Chain A
């Protein structure tokens, strides 16, 4: 009965931050067998951790409200990739970090960093097409294990952006700064949205 609502609730709780492909990579939507390759923990250098923090902060910067770094998003991203994603995503995430390292991202000016991310964002569109085509092809393939060993994961940009949004908007600071958090609404009633009304999160 409330099962449909329960599903809707999950996506609300996440602030809708995770898209279909991300949920699939998490193993909740697709066939679990197709994503069953486990992996070692990420082995991140201090520089790579800094890049994660920098990119997360560029996605959700500190303004008059807290930013991604303020609410611990960089560590959250690392933990989520480690705990909840599979080898293909580990590979694509590391590939993205390595690419930014090669570009000497941390030494760039603010404008150069913005340009670099714009290019990565642009490239992601093509990568997503390849990813989706591969998902369909792999879905038909019998030799899943061997294919998984070389399979591409969700692109770096997609992972880091969605995890930044998830981490930020479900953090205490990010949630309270952005929404009206009402854990015990005690009701369901009709209302009209007032102008400037913050989104209510339950």
Chain B
């Protein structure tokens, strides 16, 4: 009997367990297997194999029965996820429907989730701007949250490392607030975007640059990309259906198949993680409890190290639910701060206008990218009545219209003879840094459970006065910039969108120097349970204005490297 038990335990024992297979979990899997560790990757959703499980990727418009529209009842049954810009007939298979995983909104919060192999890496907007020294020193300089335990120099080589593998297109712009990376050729700006860029350079003496976004699209495949079986992006811009070319980076196209090739990865889908097992005697984590979503049975798996990459809020949930005599309030939570200091990006504001130049030109083709205005507010020093600032997108587009009056041959002919607009449409949207606060938190509900018997997450996250002031400043500054560029018909709008819809929720398990005020150290290691690493959005001390995924990738590769070294030194 005992022999049987021992062999059963052995068959469930790995060197490492990675919880989650999204953008950071995929990197953890690749790095740990690449360093020879026998690794179990737990994914709560189903398997989604690159290409073969992208059922809509190759469909022509006429092959979508409702031509992209949702059927009645879908939006009503899914008030949260149907707000997401990418949710539609061609993509709904990659989104969690509201009823599938209930949560409690103490304050309105649109929690957008993708529960499948690859997670939201299939659905992301693929913008990959590096964070800069201004971001990592921000909390210390401006006196909010806690000091990051790392600086740009600590992460810079890891940005390079992940960029080369992922394939990032971009221009070397030489900006300290948006450091250059290992770039594939950049996408082009069109004439009106160039006009705006040049006009800003002149009007603000270089203090407000507008550049082409850096994004995870292969513009010129390198041997490392071909080796992954990925090829050049074809500008189909149907990315959220899954890319059959592997033109953009996803776990499914890149890190997971790479990890599988090592022969060291075991991928277990349908595995909802319940909690992490803490051994009081060994004073470390020894494994993970899962609920098999098919059998509803609880099972245990064991490993020397555990990477938690369940996506920011679910990572919080798992740690909060990992209770023991030693940690009655959640794993590594002596400080009581687990779940607190959650923050996000303020995407609620936008601005549109027209430009009446370059009317002899239009564009041909599409671009899975747009222009980017890095943060210029409070950059070198504090200069406004609010903290931090915002980045903005920028895009210009020559539209056309046709005559849709009447019917019959006249209508048919009218549509065949469209007229170019006598203006270009330009627009920007705001990506504001929000300040992490103790009052923005997630916690476990005491009574309500999800379908797997796990406590539901209570989410209490809201805007504050700083966000309101910053939004107002965005309107003023962008209006000024648009005016200086000669744009007309300037209109601003505040969508008042609910936090969460930015899909940039971060924090709750923040990094820091002091175990009293943070959960993770400089290596994304739980201060009080050193063989558990958190390298997804939950680990973020502050939010910057840049899209965060690239930083999760770099932190993950860095932490995996450290973890394996520590393991070899027998420190874990």
A residues at B contact (CB < 8 Å): 1-10, 13-15, 26-28, 32-33, 35-36, 38, 58-61, 63, 65, 79-80, 83-86, 117, 121, 161, 165-167, 169-172, 175, 178, 181-193, 198-200, 202
Known A13-B68, A170-B67; contact A61-B547, beta-carbon cutoff 8 A: no
A6 to B127 alpha-carbon distance, docked (Å): 14
B235 on interface, CB distance cutoff 8 Å: yes
Q: Which residues of B have CB within 8 Å of A169?
A: 415
| A-B CB contact pairs (8 Å), 16 listed | A1-B125, A1-B372, A8-B397, A27-B75, A58-B407, A61-B412, A65-B412, A83-B71, A165-B415, A166-B67, A172-B60, A175-B61, A178-B415, A189-B365, A199-B418, A202-B365
A84:B72 contact, CB within 8 angstroms: yes
Distance (Å) between the CB of B268 and the closest chain A CB? 33
CB distance from A143 to the nearest CB of B (A): 18
Which residues of chain B come closer than 8 Å to A8, judged between CB atoms? 397
Contacting B76 at CB < 8 Å: which of A2, A4, A32, A190?
Answer: A32
Provided the pairs A1-B369, A26-B70, A63-B412 are in contact, do residues A36 and B364 lie with their beta carbons within 8 angstroms? no
| Chain A residues positioned under 8 Å from B350 (CB to CB) | 4
Interface residues of B in 420-443 (CB under 8 A from A): 420, 427, 429
Partner of B62, one of A28, A161, A165, A170: A170
Q: How far is the CA of A71 from the CA of B334 in the complex (A)?
A: 67
Q: B residues touching A (Cβ–Cβ < 8 Å)?
A: 60-62, 65-73, 75-76, 79, 82, 85-86, 88, 125-127, 187-188, 190-191, 213, 215, 232, 234-237, 240, 350, 360-370, 372, 393, 395, 397, 400, 404, 406-409, 411-412, 415-416, 418, 420, 427, 429, 547
- B365 near A186 with CB under 8 A, answer yes
Q: Are A190 and B407 in contact (CB under 8 A)?
A: no
Given known pairs A1-B127, A14-B67, A193-B362, the reply for A61 and B60 (CB within 8 Å) is: no
Q: Which residue, of A33, A36, A38, has the highest number of chain B Cβ atoms within 10 A?
A: A36
CB < 8 Å neighbour of A175 from B62, B76, B393, B412: B62
Q: Is the CB of A188 within 8 A of B400?
A: no
The answer to whether residues A188 and B62 also contact, given A61-B408, A84-B70 and a CB cut-off of 8 A, is no
What are the residues of chain A within 8 A of B187 when measuring CB–CB?
188
**Chain A residues with CB below 8 A from B73, complex form:** 38
Pick from B86, B235, B408: contact of A185, CB under 8 Å = B235
Closest Cβ neighbor of B73 among chain A residues: A38
Cβ of B409 and Cβ of A178 under 8 Å apart?
A: no
Contacts of A7 in B (CB 8 A): 85
- Whether B364 and A188, one on each chain, are in contact in the complex, defined by CB atoms closer than 8 angstroms, is yes
Interchain CB contact (< 8 A) of B395 among A5, A167, A175: A5
Residues of B within 8 A of A166 (CB): 67
- Chain B residues within 8 Å of A26, by CB: 69-70
A187 touches B235 (CB 8 A): yes
Task: Indicate which residue in A58, A165, A190 contacts B362 across the interface (CB closer than 8 Å).
Answer: A190
**Further pairs besides A1-B372, A63-B412, A165-B415: 14, Cβ < 8 Å:** A1-B127, A2-B126, A2-B368, A4-B350, A35-B76, A61-B408, A79-B66, A166-B67, A169-B415, A175-B62, A185-B234, A186-B234, A186-B235, A189-B365
Judging by beta carbons under 8 Å apart, are A191 and B363 in contact?
yes
**Chain B residue at smallest Cβ distance from A36:** B76
- CB of A3 within 8 A of CB of B363, answer no
Are B409 and A193 in contact (CB-based, < 8 A)? no
Question: Known contacts A1-B213, A184-B234: does B408 contact A59 (CB below 8 Å)?
Answer: yes
**CB contact under 8 A between A189 and B188, given known A10-B88, A27-B70:** yes
| Nearest B residue (CB) for A84 | B69
Query: Contact: B370 with A188, CB < 8 Å?
Result: no
Residue from B66, B125, B364, B397 within 8 A of A191 (CB atoms): B364
Task: Given A172-B60, A185-B234, A202-B365, verify A3-B429 contact (CB < 8 Å).
Answer: yes
> Is there an interface contact between A200 and B364, defined as CB atoms closer than 8 Å?
yes
C-alpha spacing A183/B88, complex, angstroms: 19
The answer to whether B72 and A4 have CB atoms under 8 Å apart is no
Residues of A within 8 A of B70 (CB): 26-28, 84
Q: Is the CB of A193 within 8 A of B235?
A: no
- Given known A-B contacts A1-B547, A63-B412, A178-B415, A202 and B75 have beta carbons under 8 A apart: no
> Which of A7, A10, A33 has the most B CB atoms < 10 Å from its CB?
A10
Determine if B429 and A13 form an interchain contact, defined as CB atoms under 8 angstroms apart.
no
- Shortest beta-carbon distance, B470 to chain A, in Å? 19
The answer to whether B395 and A178 have CB atoms under 8 Å apart is: no
**Which listed residue, A27, A33, A191, touches B361 by the CB 8 Å rule?**
A191
B393 touches A191 (CB 8 A): no
On whether the beta carbons of A2 and B360 are closer than 8 Å, the reply is: no
Residue with the greatest number of chain A CB neighbours at <10 A, chosen from B66, B88, B412: B412
Question: Least Cβ distance of B502 to chain A in Å?
Answer: 10
Please indicate which of the listed interface residues B72, B235, B240, B350 has the most CB atoms of chain A within 10 Å of its own CB.
Answer: B72
B235 touches A171 (CB 8 A): no
Contact between A198 and B416 (Cβ–Cβ < 8 Å)? yes
Contacts A2-B125, A28-B70, A188-B190; A170 near B61 (Cβ below 8 A): yes
Residues of A within 8 A of B86 (CB): 3, 6
A178 and B72 in contact (CB under 8 A), knowing A4-B429, A200-B364?
no
Do residues A9 and B79 form an inter-chain contact, with CB atoms below 8 A?
Answer: no
Given contacts A1-B547, A4-B395, A170-B67, contact A161 B407 (CB under 8 A): yes
